[in-house]
Amino acid sequence: MATPDKPEQSRWWKLWNRPHKWWLLWIPTGGIAMFFVGILVWGGFHTAIEATNSLEFCTSCHEMSYNFEEYKQTAHYKNEYGVRAICTDCHVPKPWGPMIVRKVQATSDVYHHLLGTIDTEEKFEARRLEMAKDVWARMRASDSRECRNCHSFEAMDRSKQSHQASKKHSAKWIERTGKTCIDCHQGVAHKLPELTE
């Protein structure tokens, strides 16, 4: 019941209770809510991507302990310049689209982890060549894009390289042969597999 001292309340109450008007408030409210939900989802997704790109994450599985020990003996891990390339620098593309594709492909690693496909050193060694060939094929397909994130032909001082290396880093030789970094630089961070095929 409207009272003389509260006439506005009854008018607003009537306006709010009109069936064809009240739902209009949900449009801006829903838009604002979706904006904040989007920020939370994107932030969570980005945080998850960053966490799975860390050296700690990559080496947290028992299966990677064999590779990790090999990698620690290379210049990619420790060198006079103090620059370290971690697992994702070589195995995960930097551009967003290819990175997401690679992350989805890498879910098969979880499957094989659960199956115990390479959970012993013997099993790992038995599959080393197959795994290496997969990585090399991906690198060739991208023209060694991940190598080029750190290494640039333009920045190389070819006068300090051997004659053979300098020749193979020339644009002319690369164009003629169609080779990419991984064709000559296999085994720079991990032990080369025994070629049994």
Write the burial class of residue 118 (CB in 10 Å: 0-12 exposed, 13-18 middle, 19+ buried). buried
- The pTM of the full predicted model, rounded to 2 decimals, is 0.75
Calculate mean pLDDT across residues 151-157.
89
Tell whether 56 is covered by a domain: no
Tell whether 33 is covered by a domain: no
Tell whether 88 is covered by a domain: yes
**76, two tokens:** 């990619």
Question: pLDDT tens for residues 105-122?
Answer: 988 888 888 898 888 989
Q: ∠ CA 169-174-180 to the nearest 5 degrees?
A: 85
Tell whether 100 is covered by a domain: yes
Q: Which domain covers residue 129, as residue numbers?
A: 64-189
Tell whether 197 is covered by a domain: no
Question: pLDDT tens for residues 53-94?
Answer: 999 998 888 888 888 999 999 999 999 989 999 999 999 999
Per the structure, the count of domains in the chain is 1
Tell whether 133 is covered by a domain: yes
